[in-house]
Amino acid sequence: MNENETSFLKNKAYDLVDSGQLAEAMAYFDQICDVNPNDAEAWLMSGSISGEMGHTEQAVTKLHKAIELQADYAEAYINLGVISRSAGDVQLSLI
């Protein structure tokens, strides 16, 4: 997948997020992760959506991947903390 295709899929996914279609948006971000596993933004978004949908363990795994790819990704750390706290398990956020 080239950069233009990735950009198109991200834009489509963000539009779906904005319209509340989270499962569909996550499918686009997951597709980007499959094709470009080094895309920290796609891992962040897929993890954040997973958390919002109540898939805590999946969210934590994806957010850890985003942090692995970009160690200073503040948004990933914040989302990881929020998801872990809302799940009542601060230990989930430990890296």
Confidence of residue 26 (pLDDT cuts 50, 70, 90): very high
Q: Amino acid identity, residue 40?
A: A
What is d(CA 23, CA 69) in angstroms, rounded to the nearest whole number?
24
Q: What is the pLDDT of residue 24?
A: 98
- CB-facing half-sphere around the CA of 27: CA atoms within 13 A: 6
What is d(CA 67, CA 4) in angstroms, rounded to the nearest whole number?
24
Mean pLDDT across the stretch 34-60? 96
Confidence of residue 2 (pLDDT cuts 50, 70, 90): confident
Q: What is the pLDDT of residue 89?
A: 67
